[in-house]
Structure 1
Amino acid sequence: MNLYRELAKEQPYFVLSDMQASMGMDAEAKRYMSENIRSEWFLGMILFNTRLLHRAIAKGVVFAAALTRSPDDPPRTKIQFVATREKALELLEQWRAQADGGRG
């Protein structure tokens, strides 16, 4: 969590996450992340190898963050679910191009 926070001090960033790998994370660690992660740290999140439960939790975290933000601060975190790492990398390239304004 500290790494996410420190990186975000420089600028928001994109996150790719293999949710199958998160299956080994214990419940206390998952709870801590859901309570302490901040959507303003991220430009977008791409999650792959997800189950329905992962999708519901991720959407819930983003929704909770949106409820706590200032009305003057528009939501900026995109979240997308894809099947594979390869699809996640393709989508990341598209998002980076959009963020760069197509400058490549």
Structure 2
Amino acid sequence: MSIQREWVFGKHKAHLEGSDMLFVRMGGPVGADDARALINIYRELAAAQPFFAIMEVSGFAANAEARKVFTQELRQEWFRGMIFVGAGMVERAVTKAMTVALYLAGKWRMDFLYTDTTDQARDTVSRLRAKPLSATG
């Protein structure tokens, strides 16, 4: 699939494939500025339509400030799905904790999904695309 658009923020990169599949590669520690930059990308894409976010997170380390930005700013209605690629035990624990915080804030009811490879993430997107969009995302 061809890349439609690319972003670079800090040590991180994102690119849009097609109209609804955003790949994000976290290239190091994530601070609040990185989190805000990513939220702005999400917000911009979601203005057109809900999309799939595929996050390559091996070694992902979001500091407390970044996690706070994510839990305050993320909106479920922006996404058709969020898939984490290469998440180890620590990354899964961090993302699960963020899910709980979002759920308790009333902002989230969708599970984060996990795969080992980007090819598996693409297969997951294919399965999710087959599901109809609900009124909540």
TM-score by length of 1: 0.70
Offset, 1:26? 6.3
1:7 to 37, 45, 49: 45
Q: Which has the higher strand share?
A: 2
Residue segments in structure 2 that go unaligned for 5+ positions in a row: 1-38
Residue segments in structure 1 that go unaligned for 5+ positions in a row: none
Distance 1:29 1:49, change over 3 A: farther
One-letter identity of the residue aligned with 1:43: R
Match of 1:97 in 2: 130
- For residues 2-47 of structure 1, the C-alpha deviation after alignment (integer angstroms, 9 at most, x for no partner) is 1111222333222111112x63x66367333344323332221111
Identity, in percent, stands at: 28
Distance 1:10 1:26, change over 3 A: same
Distance 1:57 1:91, change over 3 A: same
Q: Which has the higher helix share?
A: 1
TM-score by length of 2: 0.56
Which structure ranks higher in relative contact order (CA pairs < 8 Å, sequence separation ≥ 6)? 1
Matched position secondary structure for 1:10: coil
**How large is the Cα RMSD of the aligned pairs?**
2.6
